[in-house]
Amino acid sequence: MNPSQNSFEYQRKPGCGIQIGYRILSNRAEDQDIPSRATQSTDPADAIANIDVHLISTEDVYARYSCHPTVGLEAAAIQRRSKDGKNVISPPTTQYWKKILNYIFGGFNFLMWIAFIVTIISYKPLGGSNSFKVAVLLMLVIIISTTFYAVVDWNASRIMKSIKSIIAQEAAVIRDGKQQLIPATDIVVGDIVVLNAGDRVPADLRIVAASSDLRFDRSLLTGESDMVPGFLEATSDNALETGNLALTSTFVTQGTCNGLVFATGDRTVMGRIVKMSGETKFKLTTIQKEIWFFTKVISSVAFSMFGLSLLLFGVWLRASYRGYETISQAITNSIGCLTAFVPQGLPLCFALSLTIIARRVSKRHILVKNLATIETLGCMSVLCSDKTGTLTAGKMVVESIAFLDRHLLVSEIEEKISEASDPRFLAGLSALHQIARLCNGAKFDSATADRPIHERNIKGDPTDTALLRFSEALSIPALNINTSGLLSSWRKPFEIPFNSNNRWMLSIVQQTRTTEGHITKRDSTTWMLVKGAPDMLVKSCTTVMRSDGSVVPLDEASKQHMSDLQSDWSSEGQRVLALCRKPLDALKPNLALNTMEKLMYSEIGNLTLVGLVGIRDPPRPDVLSSVAVIRCAGVRVFMVTGDFESTAVAIARQVGIITRHSVDNISDVRAASAEKHLADVLPSAIKPSEDEPIRALVLTGEDVSSLTALDWHVIVGQYTEIVFARTTPDQKMKIVEEIKARGDNTVAVTGDGVNDAPALKAADIGVAMGSGSDVAKEAAALILLNNDFASIPVAIEMGRLVFDNLKKVILYLMPVGSYTEFMAVVTNVVFGMQLPLSSYLQVCFSITNDVVMSISLMYEKAEAVFGISQCATDLMLRKPRNARTDRLADWRLFFQIYLFIGLMTWPCAMSMWFVYMDKQGLGFHDVFLAYNNWTAGYHNYTQDQLDQFVNVGQCIYYVTMVFIQYGNLLAIRNRRVSLIQSNPLWGPRKNIAVPIGMVATALIAVINLYGPGFQKVFKTTPIPEMFWGPPFAFGLGILFVDEIRKLIVRTRPKASANLFLVFLILMEN
């Protein structure tokens, strides 16, 4: 490249040649009084907040940890300190025995265990003949339920593997005056660790010596991609933000340093964050709470029925009808009351329903670690999202470039040049390309050199990485812009790396020529290239370049224009760099590094401002639309990030988290909380009013630390759009906990860094990105494997759908599988009738027929919205379910189970029992209240004949239950829409699982009745042909009645003129 001959830019200055290098800074330690240590705390968050080693001088650090600056630790000191334990981060402990006990005795299983134990007692000590069969069936139910509870709750922990992957394997330390390479696990407090570029920090270190270009990558810990410069002195009181600490698991990306170890293993910041993410107390998911509530209600009633049955036997039946029941039979019948009322198939249906939904969401590359968490997304009311890597792509890219007279997007460059008659109107791109490529500290990884530019790995900080990708991809032959030609034509004899003091990087480049394959110097062309913060460099510029490559004086108007452009870009979340250059005379060789560096500092002046470059981490393309859908679903979306306030707000505006022009701050919160009007408000009532306008708020981590309870009332109760910036891990966790404590909020958290892990664990549901850290993924309940933020609305919809479908499953199971079975036992226990349904058929129906049929309900799609096309659903138009007040099983559901559907099903089944008995010459009064009369000779029948009548009647009762469920299923699968508009065979609500389930349950019934082994063991028997048809008619009748209910609900939702209409409308859920 030939230098511009413009007199404003090309003014040669004397110089000299040097070699690339850096300065080493060091401090000597002298004996001083040892400062007092920070108060120790067992709380991880407090322990991090109490770190003070960064606030004391280097000499005091050596004194506190009894270490010599050059000798390090001696062997005796190492031996003593090694007793404190290895430098290893321990995984959170898991009490597997508690989990196993919960599997075995959780849910309805504790009732089954009581029934099993009582049955065994009635079998052996009390001599019950059928008790053993009942006990076997009960144990079968326990085993199946336990298995499914384990499948639902099982969450294989790989936390130890994750922790090992983020710890350095070896470390260079200074011991006994010598540098040694030791296993990182053997590091002790007081060791001096030597770090070079590319090393992973093995323990928490206080930097005691550092090169001027020292920089760390803390993205694993903080989630932010910006490189952090290293210093000898504190740059912040916050241990997580100061530049003079090197923390475990972070990387040295540039420079070298020595650090004194002040914490190892579990006492490091990383160890304490892992502890915070693992110490969160066990909590039930929202659906587990609903199932537990339903279990308590049903179990209480069932246990009451069990006790009442025994009481009736003891005070009435035993005295009034001697010989009707033995003690063993009474216990068995009482157990029948208990087991009949409990829907044994519910745990299986619950697990299968969640599994089916999990398979659906897995198609969107969502990994569900705990099935029970799926529904929690459905009632999520607040989503706290990290920024970097979650809302944004996590990769810095060059988005805009600007010259004095023109600015444009990088994506527009090719189009603009191809449309122009003369491409030289953008000749300034040649100088800008030169600076971006040659004044750059990043390098491509040679192992990925064959990949496309955007896929190559790069070693360097994000800013240099963005410029490197931009300059490598920029190729304009018409302007002679070609990266390979540029690199072969220039060499770099000297550079000053970027540091936070100067806030710029400087490179000296010299043009070369190729002679017979050898590169030689051409001393006539030497450039100083500088890039950095505009506010640091523009004041050193005297000229500015236009887009055509011409150079003009940089007057005040030009400075103001460039400053305004910088402000505009910054408000959009872009990081702005100034690219400058200056021609130099030939450099003198063999100058000392320090001499050359001083010379270059003196040359910073009379620069030409070539242009500005706007770099940013762009939002993911799917985030804006996804946030809009989530907010439409009634969910508030907050940003919780460690990034700076201005950048966070800019990104929040771009993705739709903040839509208001005016954004409040901490002073507005304090002013509102001073009014005290929220002091007496119940926590559950603290939420934004729908009548109030939307308000936006931004707070920093420092603000969060100072908030009072009333401040939090204001924040959670009055703001819909919130950004929390510059937050630490413990502050993120506090934000989640404070939001959860108010407004009955169900809080979800998204994140990808180690710093997000405590908040992910503390949330009702944690969502990690697939590209995130292993610790974050272990703490989360859901993982978005393809980093697709658009998967979150899908997961919310699936969570709401699973709640609806589970309600349908309960409504399907209870009227027949519980109520109708229970009434059969009641007629036997209370009214002296022979048992219309055997214990085997009772259990078999609950765990086979009912489960097979209910599977089709788990595949149901969402129902249509009234007045909208059938394909439109209301799932994402509803408000989030209030997990505290909106129950899975409320009074309306029980009303429909026991006073609507149930009142049709059990009389139908019972009538078939009486019809069969009537056909045998036994009328209603002969069967009802028979008590101890049902013995040999009753109506001239033998005992075998009477037993045969009972066996056939039980099978008829069973078959009636099986086929009456056809109508019940078709009625329940649509809570509002008519079957005509949503039949299961075709159309938008097609569900092929419905006919498959019907065929399967019929086959189970046939096998039970006609299988020789079943007939012999369980006394089942074929039934007369006439009893196969009426159950279908009963099912059709139930469907018809429910269709009338749906019609009234759709056409007259507010009808209340007569009691019948009110009753039917109450059925609508």
Angle at 303 between CA 144 and CA 961, to 5 degrees: 60
Per-residue DSSP letter, 873:
B
Per-residue DSSP letter, 280:
S
Bridge partners of 211, per DSSP, are 24
In the three-class reduction of DSSP (H, G, I as helix; E, B as strand; rest coil), residue 640 is classed as strand
Other Cβ atoms less than 10 A from the Cβ of 434: the count is 22
The whole-angstrom separation of Cα 372 and Cα 350 is 9
Query: What is the token pair recorded at 150?
Result: 């384990």
Using CB atoms within 10 A of its CB, is residue 39 exposed (0-12), middle (13-18) or buried (19+)?
exposed
Per-residue DSSP letter, 181:
E
What 3 state SS string does 130-166 have? Answer: CHHHHHHHHHHHHHHHHHHHHHHHCCCCCHHHHHHHC
Q: Would you say the C-alpha torsion 756, 758, 760, 764 has a positive or negative sign? A: negative
Q: Are 971 and 1025 in contact (CB under 8 A)?
A: no
CA distances from 1004 to 344, 705, 850, 853, 1014 (A): 17, 63, 11, 11, 11
Q: Are 350 and 372 in contact (CB under 8 A)?
A: no
Tokens 């550079």 belong to which residue? Answer: 495
The whole-angstrom separation of Cα 732 and Cα 966 is 51
The whole-angstrom separation of Cα 270 and Cα 167 is 10
Tokens 């049709």 belong to which residue? Answer: 904
Q: Are 962 and 952 in contact (CB under 8 A)?
A: no
CA distances from 272 to 171, 296, 830 (A): 21, 38, 63
Q: Give the H/E segment covering residue 5.
A: none
The whole-angstrom separation of Cα 429 and Cα 948 is 98
Within 13 Å of residue 185, how many CA atoms lie on the same side as its CB?
8
Q: Are 859 and 357 in contact (CB under 8 A)?
A: no
Tokens 């009641």 belong to which residue? Answer: 826
Query: What is the token pair recorded at 3?
Result: 């230098």
The whole-angstrom separation of Cα 958 and Cα 836 is 9
Distance of CA 55 to the CA centre of its chain: 36
Other Cβ atoms less than 10 A from the Cβ of 35: the count is 15
Phi then psi for 425, rounded to 5 degrees? -65, -15
In the three-class reduction of DSSP (H, G, I as helix; E, B as strand; rest coil), residue 57 is classed as coil
In the three-class reduction of DSSP (H, G, I as helix; E, B as strand; rest coil), residue 530 is classed as strand
Q: In what order do the strands lie in the sheet with 663-664?
A: 366-368, 782-784, 765-769, 747-751, 382-385, 636-640, 721-725, 696-700, 663-664
- Burial annotation 392-402 (CB, 10 A radius, 16+ → b, else e): bbbbbbbbbbb
Bridge partners of 751, per DSSP, are 768
Integer-rounded Cα Rg, in Å, for the chain is 38
Q: Are 996 and 925 in contact (CB under 8 A)?
A: no
Q: Are 437 and 481 in contact (CB under 8 A)?
A: no
Q: Can 774 be counted among the known catalytic residues? A: no
The whole-angstrom separation of Cα 297 and Cα 302 is 9
Which residue among the candidates 204, 386, 744, 774 is catalytic per the annotation?
386
Query: Which sequence positions are flagged as catalytic?
Result: 386
